[in-house]
Amino acid sequence: MTHLYDRQYIAGAWCATQGKEFVEVFDPNTGALAARVGVGHEDDARRAAQAARAAFAGWSTAPLAERVRVVQQWAQALAARKDALVRAIAAEVGTPLKISQIVQVESPLRNIGNFVDVVQSLAWETTVGNSRIVREPFGVVACITPWNFPLHQIVLKLAPALLTGNTVVLKPSELTPQTTQLICEALHEAGFPDGVVNVVNGTGPTVGAPLAASEAVDMVSFTGSTQAGKAVAALAAQTVKKVATELGGKSPSVVLPGADLARAVKATVGACMLNNGQTCSALTRLLVPADLAQQACALAAQEIAKLTVGSSLSEGSRIGPLISQRQQASVQALLQQGERQGARPVAEASAVPEQGFFVAPQAYAVDEDNALARQEIFGPVLSILTYSDVDDAVRLANATAYGLAAAVWGEEQQAMAVARRIQAGQVDINGARFNALAPFGGYKQSGVGREGGLFGVEEFLQVKSIQINLPNGN
């Protein structure tokens, strides 16, 4: 059955899109047509921005307790749709059900609570000498989010933006319309005042670009590819608005001499393959001492052989399909390029369904100039590289245009020393668990700005300095 999604959510109401075109969305498990999505028009983006502008005065001056109350009601409305969200994301993105539940849905629901805690303890005003430092919302924020973690990325933007008093125009991915529909229903049910949060479906050129360039928008928060992020930043520069970006990655996992190699390889394979490799922070480069290369390749092959590939809606699947035929073709083209450049396959899962957009999880031994070692693949592919000494390991870890995440394995003090030298926004040591309250974001071409916790809240606040006369005349 093909579903039709042809409405926008603007000023608290569902309305017909002004666009005349449609995007076709296909079931990644079968390749069958699953949905047609009405492509938003520049007029939809303009009306949404105007609605957000009209709502800003009331929302920004509402008591914090009121903003918290409505955001918590949004969280409750999302929680009531938890099962539907899990299945929608599994069906649209290709995330296997168990991972969809834990990572795609439960994690962002907890994050809303984290943001509520942060804003309730935030020092909204402080004093420095004879100055009162005041934190204020930017105004209208355009939030442009990707398809790979549709709920998670929306929560990381909407929750802090709305709690801090901004109003929002959200442009979600056109490839996850069912997930977007459920999120919109929850937003409407939460009871936000009309215009505080608006959702416009569409593509980057039809909706994202007009929002980035709009004089009615005061800030853009964008997550997506580095190429698209550069385009958004260039458009936003025309009106000198703030742009926060979380972009691509080619994250290294550095195994130091003396580390537990088996543990490091197992964890790296798991992190690389999460969400079928469709994760910006995936550990896609395994760096090992040259004398351990053969053993590391054997261990990687052993771990990959354990991965069950199948429908994302099957309870037994560990690896599902990629989101689209386009993504599948992109990954396959990169693999062919890498092999032409000398990449040596060392592991590949055996059984891959014939229908759907599947790519077998695999690992390659490569040199540092190979395309598989340099380009973001966004599929279930691990590159294994060797180094001569620790300085060479650090050089290789940093030999990329990206700097989003990394991992280091080894004796703790040595691992910490190496972590400090890696140019990445977040580094895990010896498999330390992810901390949602810590800042997440990139160095270099992985983006500008941070998400999560206090740092993610502060991205949506401007700082004003008000000078006052002190009683002693200073």
- Please check whether residues 81 and 121 belong to one and the same domain: yes
Q: Is residue 237 included in any domain, yes or no?
A: yes
* In the predicted structure, residue 436 carries a pLDDT above the cut 90: yes
pLDDT band for position 471 (cuts 50, 70, 90): confident
Give yes or no for residue 472 having a pLDDT over 80.
Answer: no
Q: Give the CATH number for residue 112.
A: 3.40.605.10
pTM value > 0.85: yes
Structural domain boundaries enclosing 196:
3-247+446-465
Mark whether 261 and 366 lie in a shared domain. yes
Copy the structure tokens of residue 146. 């990707």
Using a 10 angstrom Cβ sphere, with 0-12 exposed, 13-18 middle and 19 or more buried, the burial of residue 127 is exposed
Q: How many CB atoms lie within 10 A of CB 65?
A: 8
Q: Tell me the CA distances in angstroms from 275 to 6, 269, 294, 379, one per residue in order.
A: 28, 12, 27, 9
**134: β partners:** 125, 464
Asked whether residue 223 falls in the same domain as residue 264, the answer is no
pLDDT digits (tens, 9 = 90+) for 364-382: 999 999 999 999 999 999 9
Q: Which residues contact 348 (CB under 8 A, 6 or more apart)?
A: 304, 360, 361, 362, 363
- pLDDT, tens digit (0-9, with 9 covering 90-100), for 153-210: 999 999 999 999 999 999 999 999 999 999 999 999 999 999 999 999 999 999 999 9
pLDDT for the residue 347: 87
Same domain? For 63 and 110 the reply is yes
Are 172 and 296 within one domain? no
Any domain includes 282: yes
Task: Please state, in angstroms and rounded to a whole number, the distance separating the CA atoms of residues 111 and 117.
Answer: 10
Looking at the structure, tell me whether residues 33 and 61 fall in a common domain: yes
The reply to whether 280 belongs to the active site is yes
* 350 vs 254, more confident: 254
Q: How confident is the model at residue 230 (pLDDT cuts 50, 70, 90)?
A: very high
When the pLDDT of each residue in the chain is averaged and rounded to a whole number, the result is 96
- Is 441 contained in some domain? no
**Catalytic residue (one of 92, 246, 451, 458):** 246
Question: In this structure, what token pair is assigned to residue 293?
Answer: 């290369």
Over residues 49-64, the mean pLDDT reads: 98
Shared domain for 425 and 459, answered yes or no, is no
What share of the chain in percent tops pLDDT 90?
A: 96
Question: How many helices, marked H, and strands, marked E, lie in the chain?
Answer: 16, 21
Could you give the CA distance from residue 252 to residue 284 in angstroms, rounded to a whole number? 6
Same domain, 77 and 226: yes
Q: Is residue 362 part of a domain?
A: yes
Could you tell me the pLDDT band of residue 473, with boundaries at 50, 70 and 90? Answer: low
* 132 and 11 assigned to the same domain: yes
Per-residue pLDDT tens over the stretch 40-49: 999 999 999 9
Query: Is residue 156 in some structural domain?
Result: yes
Please list, in sequence order, all residues whose beta carbon lies within 8 angstroms of the beta carbon of residue 470, skipping any fewer than 6 positions away: 130
Instruction: Give pLDDT tens digits for 282-332.
Output: 999 999 999 999 999 999 999 999 999 999 999 999 999 999 999 999 999
**CA 325/CA 310 separation, integer angstroms:** 16
> Do residues 331 and 461 both lie within one domain?
no
The answer as to whether 471 is a domain residue is no
Q: By three-state DSSP, how is residue 426 classified? A: strand
Determine, yes or no, domain membership for 311: yes
- pLDDT at position 350: 66
Q: Is residue 472 part of a domain?
A: no
Could you tell me the CATH number of the domain that includes residue 269?
3.40.309.10
- What does the CA dihedral 261, 262, 264, 267 come to, rounded to 10 degrees? 170
- Do 308 and 351 lie in one domain? The reply is yes
Q: Are residues 379 and 344 in the same domain?
A: yes
Residue 474 has pLDDT above 80, yes or no: no
- Tell me the per-residue pLDDT of 324-367, one tens digit each, with 9 for 90 and over: 999 999 999 999 999 999 999 998 766 789 899 999 999 999 99
CA dist., res. 385 & res. 115, Å (int) = 39
Catalytic residue, from 174, 280, 297, 303: name it.
280
**What is the tally of structural domains in the chain?**
2
Cα(195)–Cα(215) distance, integer angstroms: 17
